A and B are shown apart, each in its own frame.
Chain A
Amino acid sequence: MIIRVVGVSVTYGSIKALENVSLEVFPGEVVSIIGPNGSGKTTLLKTIDSIVKPIAGSIYIDGKNIYNYTRREIAKILSYVPQRIDLLQNTTVIDFVLTGRRPYADFSYSKVDIDKVFEVLKIVNAEHLAYRKLDELSGGELQRIVIARALASEPKVLLLDEPTANLDSKYQVEIMKLIRRLSSEKKVAVIMAIHDLTSAYRFSDKVVMIKNGVVVSIGKPEDVITEDNIWRVFEVKAKIFRELRAVIVEI
């Protein structure tokens, strides 16, 4: 499943959110979108999932324009995980993950759907959480469950909006490793907006750096995450330790 974003522009009212953005994503590829707050990272994710409609440009899935797919077909290919979800009380993990099977179910969920839920819970190492309430989970557990829900629709592409925000270091690494594992084992392509430059450097195959809705640089992490580019986009001085694959921002 090859996703091609071709010359996409998005505006919110009079504000330009994305301008002439192009991008190609191949199966099993991990793509990080980095840039300052308000640079258009989330908008790009939403545009790829056609939640936001571009004023120019198109998205193609395997060469077919995304508007020629029904919403249900798209739901089986792309899975979007927003930064935050509102939870109603007393929602059990298994019920929540089951909702991810909606594109496959008409009136009720079958045993196949329930088996699938356990399969994805196993993938994210959260089988033991199946009967817990969502509001009892830790941040790292909840993030895994949210990703499991996204996986339940058996997508070819995962769109993650800051999957490691609000997580401590241990959970951050855990989630990033999970993402890597999904891409290598399940050949799921992952496109994620992310703030942590070191994570982007270490865990992605491709990095898209954007500022004010314009792609500044795109390519391999070591080519995109450079001291010069970080200065241009974030306006901070940074030091890159290539052997450690780490980025440290200078004060």
Chain B
Amino acid sequence: MSSSSNIFLRRYIALAVLATILFILIPLASSIGLYRVTFLDIYKMLLGYNLPEDEFIALWIRLRRIFVGAIVGALLGGAGAIAQAVFRNPLASPFTLGISQAAALGVAIALIAGYGGTATQWFIQFARPYILPIAAFTLAIIQTVLILLLAYRAGLTPQALVLSSIALSFLYQAILAVLQYLVLNELQIATIVFWMFGDLGKAGNTELLILATTFIPVTLAYMLMNLDLDLIAIGDEIAYTSGLNPKKFRFFATAIAALGTALATCFVGVLAFLCLLAPHIARAIVGSSHRYLLPASMMISSILLIAADTFGRTALSPRTIPAGIVLSFLGAPLLIVLLLRGSRRW
């Protein structure tokens, strides 16, 4: 019994370590940048010390994007872990299943149509930021239904499912390209394309507020599914005999993952690989029980995203490389390493 509490204790310790890294990383990453401040200034600010106004503004903009990174990362990390369990597929994630791209198309359509905001000059203005998650979720849920139809009706193998999802995501990019080509001028195209790279700097105060308030119920929904995710990962028949309706649950779980992805995507664009990689790293640390895997994957994803964003802000300073691009540089080789290590099992 003592050793059994050990294994669970070890997992809690791993989670605590990840949480500590995240809590150190947030002020640390905010202290790095053009405007030099120390680690401690961030704590001062968070504790309500009055800072000079210009310093406050500079710091808040930086801190805000890091908070956005933490939330967006967590939403994606959880969604990735869910996708891998319900599709019983190590290649599944909102990114490889095309849900991210579908959500991005939804936002782009809303922006181009002028409902959600305007893409003018160098900035996207989210005039009605509340519309964007709805637009993103609408297309994300359409993609979810398409994937499930492909999986059930055509009985595709896990690999074929991912490949056809990637094909669909190319379709979404093509639709987006047509819209851009017909509707927008060069400057607007540049803005939309830039947004598609995935950049944390686009989200303002209202966007952060939307993310922060939706983050809590979505995380709760993620966590409430943990026992059933363990079950469905073993197999549909076993899940069914243990009292779970696998088809219903798969749709429900994918829809929640799509909601998380839509929220994560609607203000910052598509972040490649994050939702695919984080669950794999988490599984290597805490094992595959979702009670531990979900929070671990969420925190690892947040840490990776904040790290990638900070690197992107500082590497070629004063130019900022969008976090999405940094993640692709990081994610592509890491994914190949994971594939090579796990190849005997695929």
Contact = CB atoms under 8 A, between A and B. Distances in A.
A236 interface: no
B243 A90 contact: no
A96 B234 contact: yes
B293 to A, nearest CB: 9
Contacts of A130: 3-4
Given A98-B289, A115-B1, A131 B241 contact: no
A72 B227 CA distance: 14
B84 interface: yes
Given A88-B288, A92-B287, A118-B4, A51 B241 contact: yes
B235 A102 contact: no
A106 B228 CA distance: 10
B136 interface: no
B238 A82 contact: yes
Nearest to A106: B227
A49 interface: yes
A106 B243 CA distance: 11
A96 B88 CA distance: 15
B243 A131 contact: no
B121 to A, nearest CB: 48
A92 B88 contact: no
Interface residues of A, number: 40
A105 B234 CA distance: 17
A75 interface: yes
A71 B226 CA distance: 19
B11 to A, nearest CB: 10
A49 B241 contact: yes
A79 interface: yes
B1 A102 contact: no
A121 to B, nearest CB: 10
Contact of B237 (A82, A106, A118, A135): A82
B88 A75 contact: no
Interface string A7-50: 00000000000000000000000000000000000000010010
A86 B288 CA distance: 14
B283 interface: yes
A89 B345 contact: yes
Interface in A157-182: none
A3 B237 CA distance: 21
B289 A72 contact: no
A184 interface: no
B227 A105 contact: yes
A54 to B, nearest CB: 16
B3 to A, nearest CB: 7
B321 to A, nearest CB: 32
Interface of B is mostly: helix
B227 A95 contact: no
Contact of A95 (B228, B238, B288, B345): B288
A208 interface: no
A70 B244 CA distance: 11
Contacts of B287: 90-92, 95
| Candidate in B4, B84, B90 with the most chain A CB atoms within 10 angstroms | B4
A78 interface: yes
A103 B1 contact: no
Given A91-B288, A115-B1, A102 B234 contact: no
A82 B236 CA distance: 11
Interface in A99-120: 99-100, 102-103, 105-109, 114-115, 118
Contacts of B242: 75, 99-100, 102-103, 153
A201 interface: no
Most buried by B among A49, A70, A80, A86: A86
Contacts of B284: 90
A126 to B, nearest CB: 14
Nearest to A117: B4
Contacts of B7: 92, 94, 131
B1 A118 contact: yes
Contact of B233 (A78, A88, A103, A118): A88
A108 B290 CA distance: 10
B149 interface: no
A28 B16 CA distance: 47
Contacts of B84: 88
B85 interface: yes
A92 B84 CA distance: 17
A74 to B, nearest CB: 8
Contacts of B3: 130-131
Given A51-B240, A114-B4, A131-B7, 18 more contacts: A49-B241, A70-B243, A71-B245, A75-B241, A75-B243, A79-B241, A88-B84, A89-B90, A89-B288, A92-B7, A92-B287, A92-B288, A95-B230, A98-B230, A98-B289, A102-B231, A102-B243, A103-B243
Interface of A: 46, 49, 51, 70-72, 74-75, 78-80, 82, 85-92, 94-96, 98-100, 102-103, 105-109, 114-115, 118, 130-131, 135, 153
Interface of B: 1, 3-4, 7, 84-85, 88, 90, 224, 226-228, 230-231, 233-235, 237-238, 240-245, 283-284, 287-289, 291, 342, 345
15 contacts: A75-B241, A75-B242, A79-B241, A80-B238, A85-B234, A85-B238, A87-B234, A88-B283, A94-B4, A95-B230, A98-B289, A99-B238, A103-B243, A108-B226, A114-B4
